[in-house]
Amino acid sequence: MNLTQFYKSVLDQDRSPIVICNLQHEIIYMNATAVERYKKHGDLLGKSLLDCHSPASNEMIKRVVEWFAADSAHNIVFTFHNDKENKDVYMVALRDENGGLIGYYEKHEYRNAETMPRYNLDQPIL
């Protein structure tokens, strides 16, 4: 098994939606949670993320990507708090091995306490 398979598995096992975009704002990867969450919009792979947002949001997305590109230390930006789901949302830079910007993704951090029993091995975890 190569390292890429491990990275993909990490993304696929995450319970938060993960949508990865290249620098042209094309959606190049969605984990299963993202596919389920956004299924009403159809197959989004290869489509522009900018088609899914308002003009004001698109301007902010573009500004954040420019900020990421300006300095390799610019890697994460808090974008908003979603009260309904009690989560914070961030844009995160994706970089190559030399620190060059190659894309970005949206990171969801939920603030609710876990309700799953600790170390519950009697039933599968979904």
In the chain, the percentage of residues whose pLDDT exceeds 90 is 84
DSSP code, position 39: G
Model confidence at 121: pLDDT above 70: yes
Model confidence at 2: pLDDT above 90: no
Q: What is the mean pLDDT of residues 46-59?
A: 95
Measured in residues, the chain has a length of 126
Instruction: Report the number of secondary-structure helices (H) and strands (E) in the chain.
Output: 3, 5
Across the chain, mean pLDDT equals 93
Domains of the chain are 16-110 (3.30.450.20)
pLDDT on residue 51: 95
CB 49 within 8 A of CB 27: yes
pLDDT on residue 124: 64
Q: How many Å apart are CA 39 and CA 35, to the nearest integer?
A: 6
Model confidence at 119: pLDDT above 90: no
In the chain, the percentage of residues whose pLDDT exceeds 70 is 96
Distance set, CA 20 to CA 31, 47, 58, 100, 104 (Å)? 9, 11, 16, 16, 6
pLDDT in tens, 60-107: 999 999 999 999 999 999 999 999 999 999 999 999 999 999 999 999
